[in-house]
Structure formats: C-alpha cells, structure tokens
Amino acid sequence: MNLIAKVIVDVPTMQTNQPYDYQIPDQFKDQIQPGMRVEVPFGQGKRVVQGFVVSIVEEPSFTGALKSITGVMDLHPVLNDELIQLGKDMAEKTFSFRITCYQTMLPAVLRAKYEKTIRLIDDIDEDLFFELFKGKDELTWEDAVNRDLLPQLAQLKKQERVEVVYSVKNRANKKKRRMIKPALSFEQLEEEKMGLRKTAKKKLELLEVLQTLSLADQSISSQELSKNYQLTSSHIRDGEKKNWLTVYEEEVYRDPFESQDFKQTDSHTLTSHQQAAFDKIQEAVKQERAETFLLRGVTGSGKTEIYLQTIASVLEKGQTALMLVPEIALTPQMVTSFKGRFGEKVAVLHSGLSDGEKYDEWRKIEREEAKVVVGARSSIFAPVKNLGVIIMDEEHETSYKQSENPRYHARDVALWRSEFHNCPLILGSATPSLESRARAQKKVYTLVELPERVNKKVLPEVEIIDMRDEGKNGNRSSFSIQLQEKIRDRLAKKEQIVLMLNRRGYSSFVMCRDCGFVLPCPNCDISLTLHMDTKSMKCHYCGHEERIPHTCPVCKSSKIRYYGTGTQKIQEELEQVIPEARVIRMDVDTTRKKGAHEKILSAFGNHEADILLGTQMIAKGLDFPNITLVGVLNADTSLGLPDFRSSEKTFQLLTQVSGRAGRAELTGEVIVQTYNPEHYAIQLAQMHDYNQFYKTEMIIRHRGNYPPYYFTVSITASHEDEKKAAKKMYEIVNFLAPHLQKETIVLGPTPKSIARVNNRFYYQVLIKYKTEPQLIPLLHQIINESQKEMAKGLMIAIDKEPQQFM
C-alpha cells in the first residue's frame, strides 16, 4: 500500500504553513507515525528541512510527483493527536505559523540540534544485541542512520527495550542506571569462587564484589563497577549468564528538588466557604464537564487548598491535573505544597530548570508517570493525557500572554484543552482580570467566591500616606515618618516586614513631585510616555506629541521629574535610616543565579532577616506567618503607564502585596505611600473592595471603548527603513478601513514608544471593535499578500488582545 505523510515543514513562511505531501519509503513504513519529526527535501536543489508528520493518508492531495521522506528523527511521536490539533487551531488564532506553534510546545532539547543516542534499557536477544549495539549499551543516532537500523530500533522502542536520549551540551546525561545485585548468598558465591580457574582474575574480582554486596544487602551501578573495579558490561553479562547476579534498571531523573525534603502534608478540613466552592467544582469534575469557574477569593482565603483537594479528587478518578502559576509565583512554597501533597506524582516545570531537567520532567509526563503538572505559561502544552482538571492561579497575570510569536494566552489554550478533555477549568485570583470577571457576570464562567480568610482573620488595615505632605514637611527620603516608626515597632517585636518598590513603568514617565501630576494625552485616557531619543512626550495610541514640561502645568512647581528609583538605592537608604534592621533584597539582580530565589525566601522564612525588600516579585503567593507589616514605597509608578490597564494593574498589585500581611495569628498592617492618594485604584485597594473596583473600572472602560466592552487587536509593522514601516502601516489601515464596521475604532498608525529597536523602526495601530466577522480573514489576507515584502525585511506582527503597550 502506498502511504503518504502530511508534513508541516520548518520553513516559516505563509506559503508553507500547510501540510505538504511526502511519500513514505518502504523502509520507514512500519516506523512513521503522526507526531514524529522527519527530514524531507524541500524546494529546488538539495535543501533538506525538518518537519512534523501531522497525519498519514493513502491518497495524496498533491497531484504532481511526490518527494520522499529522507530521514526519521524520532522513534516515538513527540506530539500526540491533541497537540497536533491544538497547534493547528492556535496558529490560526494567533496569526503564527504551525511550525512555530509545534516547536513552542516542545521542550528545548527537542527543538535544537542536540546529540541523540539510542540506549538499551531492557534485555534483547543476544544476537540482535551484538548486531545492533556491537556489545555496547548505546549507539549514536548517526550511526543508526548510517547503518540503516532505525526500522529495527523503532520496533524495539515499541517494546520499550530502547530509548532515545538527547544529550544536552555541558551536562552529564545519565538518566537510566543499570544496577547490579547479587543473586546468590555469600556462601553460594564462595562456592562459585572455588570452581574458578586460576587465570579468571576478573571473575574472581566480580564474585568478591558481589559477596561484599550480599553481606550489606546492597546493589551497585554498572558505572561504579567499571570505575572502581574495571569490570565492564561484558563481565556483567557473563555473571548474569552464570546466575551470579541480576541486572535491573533504575531510573535516575535529574531532580531539581533533590536536596529538599518534602514533608507529607495532609488536607485541611475545609471551611464552609471553601466547602461550598469545592462542592460546586466537584459537580463538573464528576460529570466531566468543560465548565469554567472563576474562583475569586480574598488573599489568604485558602484557594490553594481548594486546588489541592480538587486535584486529589481527580487523581482518585484515575485522571490527571494541570496547574498553572505565574513564573514569579512559582515559589518554593508553592512547590512544597504540591510535592508535600502529591509527592512523586508531581512534575514541576519552571524557567529555573536547565534544559535537561525540563526534558526529564517532560518525559515523566509523557510516560504518564507524573499525574500532576505544575508550571508556568508554557506548561499549558504539557503532554498530559486524560485531564480531569486545569487550574490557572493568579489568572489576571499578564505573564500568561506570550509577547512574541506565537502570541498565545495560556487562558485561551486552557479553555481549548478543557473543551477537548471535557474537564473543568478553574481560574483563581483575589483580583480577577476585568475580562474574566465580566464573563462571569454574563454567566459564561461560573463565579465562585471566598469572601473571607480561612481563620476569619480580618484583612489588614491599609493606611495611605500622602508623600506630597512628607515633602512639604522636609522629609525627602523614600520612607515616610509613619513607615519608619512602624518598621522600628516591628523590629522591637521581632516581627517581619515586607517592603515593595513598584518598578512597573520605571522611569518612563514624568511626574510632579509636589502635586503628583502626570502629563495626560489630550485625546486619550492615558498618560504620555517620555521618549529620550526624541526628547519629547508621546502618546502611544494616537500619536500626539509635545515637549517635555519643565514646570508643572497645574501647580507651577519646577520639581517635575522622571519617576523611579532602584532597589539597591533604597536598600542603602534604608540602612542609613534604620541601621539595626537586617535587610534581604529580592529583585532581578539578586535572583539571577539558579536557586537564589529559594535561598532568599528560606532565609527570610527562618527569620535570618527582618525586612524583605523587593520588586513586584514579592507580591505574590508568599505565606509567612510572621509578616505583620507591608510597606509599598511608591504606589504610583504603575499608574503612570501608557496603558488602559494601568489602574487595574495597580489595584491588583496593591491587593496582592497587602495580602502578605497578617496571614496567621498576628494581625497585619499595610502602609501605602503615594502621590495620588485620591486615585480610586489606591482608595479601593485600601478598602479591599474588589467589587467596587470592578464596577468603577467597567464604567471607565465603557466610556473609553476599551476591553472588556471592545475587543482589541494590534498590528505592528517594522523595517530597518523607517519610511517602509510607516508606509506599510498606512497601506494596511487603508486596506482595512472600507471593510470595518462604523463603531470600530482605529488608533494610529503611530510609531511605537521605543520607535527604534535593534535598528528597526516600529509602527503600530490598535483596532478596537465590537463585532468584526471579516477582520480575522482580512488580517490573514494582509499577511499572505505581504509575503514578498516580508522576504525583503518587513515584519508584520498581529497581536489579538495585546497585554503590553510599551
């Protein structure tokens, strides 16, 4: 029978963004399956490219002469049917190439050109062993290809007798260990010794090693045997044949949490609110229904406990669970609570892992050894089968959206997979995004609320300090008098303090130090961005531009400054103001090294420091009972961002960080320093009033025609030649304009705030629309028709629901 493979080739252009037909040569017939990577000739000449087989058919849809697959890169599919389908849908929705989507789904070792070897993991027929492996335990992929062994090896792979190992550069890559243990007692081994010939030195040595082991009831790895006693695999095989010893395999994963001991933790008895939420979710779990829950619970309300118990119930049904957390919330505490509850069943994926470690975790998932996957954004592509629940903690986090190709939002992928598996999706947050909250309002999502903390502890009292007064009273430091006093008070009581320096929007805008005025755009509801290259203030959306003010247009003060300062400077200042405090700093600089994050938090947990000073990364997830004071040094920076979400982000950040205080027995307190004490985001965060914030912000979004009332899509064109980028952008707008509905709003084209990056110029438009059935096909058409220009250096990026406006 003639078999045709449909292959997505690694040639990321629009023309190639569909499967190509290739003949499967006879030698590969039994081997090739959908989801495997293959090598195929492409185009004219001798070019060979990689590709993914997405299906196998009998009839080609291409009528010309078919080329043949020239190589197979896997013995086993790396993508399952679900992911093949998901990649196709995702490519369409994110305006990216299927090949890019597939590559995004895989761990890095499967993407890059790593060395591959085939390793024996189980016994095979002796003759075959010598024929294929020539007496060794492994064989390089190249060797296997040159000797034409892949079809045979594929068979062995199916029988789980060999595996493919990807060796990551600079890293020892031993994952399987051959272990040897004595099969006879000490005395029996002694008898075997008697029967040896005098010259059999190595056999004698082997028997002696085995005797030692049998006394201690121990095993030894083949590596140790060869290293310490120069006993090779042929000696081992020989010993095995004589029935002196047994060989077995031991899987050794590189365990990034090896050194840590995870205490088994038991589930808490749920509070009545938790129970009600849990029960509601259980219905969907039991009925295997793709229902989306928005779990809004105040900080410390025990959302994590609901996740844990829901996952436990899913495991009990024999299903699996996927738990997403933002990268910066993937703290050791989070890992501990999952490892503590589910032990070995958990795979954890985060950016701190080396490529090899990530690959090991991925393999555990792929082989269905891991039943629970915990990880950041890209873990949404984990190849888990039989999902029983998907959970996204801190669902409002913008880091769930990838800002480069493919520009996917993990929430959308989660929704897709929840439909595919017929399993519930839980979106959890103390401060849900307006989009999700509005969907709950419309009953698209089911709203479940936890209105109070588990121990009925009140949420901490929040005090707002007007920093303009501090200035007037001659205090020019970053610490208000009240904050200094409270810090001293906690030091005396041996309680702990968290201080947050808000670095969002660092230095990108100017603000009056006397009245807090931030320069707004006259046409839009956002502030202007400072452009150092042009020495001017610009609006991101409409292109309005004016000069940098030297005096405040409102109060005429001349103290109008760029706003922002670094954590290091703050630490120095703190050491002068309160020299007795022991301060530990957590920001991008101090957490760059692997494991630094863990070290800092465990030192703070052990009270080796009184104050944890950091950026936004300390706002989430920390659960330390001894924190009774939280200080926010500058609430305003995130308000000044040229982004319609700036109030929302400020409210979320303040609520999150306030939530770190008073989580256990001790009552907590929060000090928020600001130049905008009247701002509703700050006042409503003070009152812990999410619902009111939601209402207020919805009105503002409605007035400004922003999401969730409108959908948004941004189009960016860039080119080394500024004129070409601008011209293209105008062409696009002119092309779209006649097709768009009346109520659709097109902002721009305008240069981006950092107009030139890497010597490329960026122009963008933002389209806001309510319904545009034609827009998506039109955008695809734009990309299709720009192929020639794109080959000559033009880049077009289309971003649906963009999250970043910098």
Ligand X SMILES: Nc1ncnc2c1ncn2[C@@H]1O[C@H](COP(=O)(O)OP(=O)(O)OP(=O)(O)O)[C@@H](O)[C@H]1O
Q: Which of 521, 537, 671, 715 binds Zn ion (CB under 5 A)?
A: 521
Q: Which two tokens stand for residue 434?
A: 């307006």
Instruction: Using the minimum distance from each CB to ligand X, give the nearer residue, 276 or 795.
Output: 276
Instruction: Using the minimum distance from each CB to ligand X, give the nearer residue, 434 or 661.
Output: 661
List of residues 6+ apart from 100 with CB closer than 8 A:
12, 91, 405, 406
* Count of all residues that appear for the chain in the document: 806
Position 796: which residue type? I
Burial of 647 (0-12, 13-18, 19+ CB in 10 A): buried
- Binding pattern to ligand X, positions 615-654, x when CB under 6 A? ------x-x-------------------------------
Instruction: Using the minimum distance from each CB to ligand X, give the nearer residue, 189 or 430.
Output: 430
* Number of residues this chain uses to bind ligand X (CB under 6 A): 19
The item of ligand X, Zn ion, none sharing an interface with residue 304, based on CB under 5 to 8 Å by kind, is ligand X
Please report, as residue ranges, which positions from 172 to 231 form the binding site for ligand X (by CB under 6 A).
Answer: none
Instruction: Using the minimum distance from each CB to ligand X, give the nearer residue, 264 or 269.
Output: 269
Among residues 61, 249, 253, 270, which one has the least CA distance to residue 162? 249
Q: Which two tokens stand for residue 302?
A: 């025990």
Burial of 591 (0-12, 13-18, 19+ CB in 10 A): buried
The item of Zn ion, ligand X, none sharing an interface with residue 651, based on CB under 5 to 8 Å by kind, is none
Please report, as residue ranges, which positions from 452 to 481 form the binding site for ligand X (by CB under 6 A).
Answer: 454
Enclosing H/E stretch for 531: strand 529-531
- According to the annotation, is 515 in a ligand binding site? yes
Instruction: Using the minimum distance from each CB to ligand X, give the nearer residue, 330 or 518.
Output: 330
The item of Zn ion, ligand X, none sharing an interface with residue 604, based on CB under 5 to 8 Å by kind, is none
> Using H for helix, E for strand and C for coil, what is the string for 494-521?
CCEEEEECCCCCCCCCEEECCCCCECEC
Q: Which of 267, 351, 523, 784 binds Zn ion (CB under 5 A)?
A: 523
- According to the annotation, is 101 in a ligand binding site? no
The item of ligand X, Zn ion, none sharing an interface with residue 655, based on CB under 5 to 8 Å by kind, is none
Shortest Cβ distance from residue 734 to Zn ion (Å)?
A: 21
> Bridge-partner residues for 364, per DSSP?
none
Please report, as residue ranges, which positions from 280 to 309 form the binding site for ligand X (by CB under 6 A).
Answer: 297, 299-305
- Determine contact, residues 246/180, Cβ cutoff 8 Å: yes
The item of ligand X, Zn ion, none sharing an interface with residue 585, based on CB under 5 to 8 Å by kind, is none
Q: Which two tokens stand for residue 506?
A: 């660092």
What SS3 state is found at 202? helix
Q: Residue 735 — φ and ψ, nearest 5°? A: -70, -40
Q: Under the criterion CB under 5 A, does residue 555 sit at the interface with Zn ion? A: yes
Count CA atoms closer than 13 A to 657's CA, side-chain side: 33
CA distances from 640 to 180, 619, 676 (A): 65, 19, 11
Q: Which of 79, 156, 277, 512 binds Zn ion (CB under 5 A)?
A: 512
> Bridge-partner residues for 409, per DSSP?
401
List of residues 6+ apart from 32 with CB closer than 8 A:
3, 5, 24, 38, 53, 56, 69, 72
Let me know how many helices (H) and strands (E) the chain has, helices first: 25, 33
- Binding pattern to ligand X, positions 233-272, x when CB under 6 A? -----------------------------------xxxx-
Q: Which of 55, 267, 557, 787 binds Zn ion (CB under 5 A)?
A: 557
The item of Zn ion, ligand X, none sharing an interface with residue 271, based on CB under 5 to 8 Å by kind, is ligand X
Shortest Cβ distance from residue 101 to Zn ion (Å)?
A: 34
Instruction: Using the minimum distance from each CB to ligand X, give the nearer residue, 43 or 625.
Output: 625
Q: Which of 659, 677, 749, 751 binds ligand X (CB under 6 A)?
A: 659
Q: Which two tokens stand for residue 59?
A: 């009839």
> Using H for helix, E for strand and C for coil, what is the string for 361-420?
HHHHHHCCCCCEEEECHHHHHCCCCCEEEEEECCCCCHHHECCCCCCCEHHHHHHHHHHH
Cα distance between residue 405 and residue 638, in whole Å: 26
Shortest Cβ distance from residue 308 to ligand X (Å)?
A: 8
Q: Which of 524, 577, 664, 778 binds Zn ion (CB under 5 A)?
A: 524
Q: Under the criterion CB under 6 A, does residue 395 sit at the interface with ligand X? A: no
Q: Under the criterion CB under 6 A, does residue 668 sit at the interface with ligand X? A: no
Instruction: Using the minimum distance from each CB to ligand X, give the nearer residue, 571 or 616.
Output: 616
Tell the residue number behind the tokens 């707004």, with chain if given. 520
Q: What angle do CA 623, 627, 629 make, to 5 degrees?
A: 130
- According to the annotation, is 423 in a ligand binding site? no
Shortest Cβ distance from residue 643 to Zn ion (Å)?
A: 12
The item of Zn ion, ligand X, none sharing an interface with residue 19, based on CB under 5 to 8 Å by kind, is none
Q: Which two tokens stand for residue 469?
A: 């007064």
Instruction: Using the minimum distance from each CB to ligand X, give the nearer residue, 431 or 718.
Output: 431
Please report, as residue ranges, which positions from 421 to 450 form the binding site for ligand X (by CB under 6 A).
Answer: 430
Shortest Cβ distance from residue 36 to ligand X (Å)?
A: 41
Enclosing H/E stretch for 599: helix 596-605
Shortest Cβ distance from residue 535 to Zn ion (Å)?
A: 19
Pairing of strands 372-375, 425-429: unpaired
Q: Which of 100, 214, 233, 274 binds ligand X (CB under 6 A)?
A: 274
Cα distance between residue 271 and residue 277, in whole Å: 10
Binding residue ranges for Zn(2+): 512, 515, 521, 524, 539, 542, 552, 555
In the complex, which residues of this chain contact ligand X (CB under 6 A)? 268-271, 274, 297, 299-305, 430, 454, 621, 623, 659, 663
Binding residue ranges: 512, 515, 521, 524, 539, 542, 552, 555
In the complex, which residues of this chain contact Zn ion (CB under 5 A)? 512, 514-515, 517, 521, 523-524, 539, 541-542, 544, 552, 554-555, 557
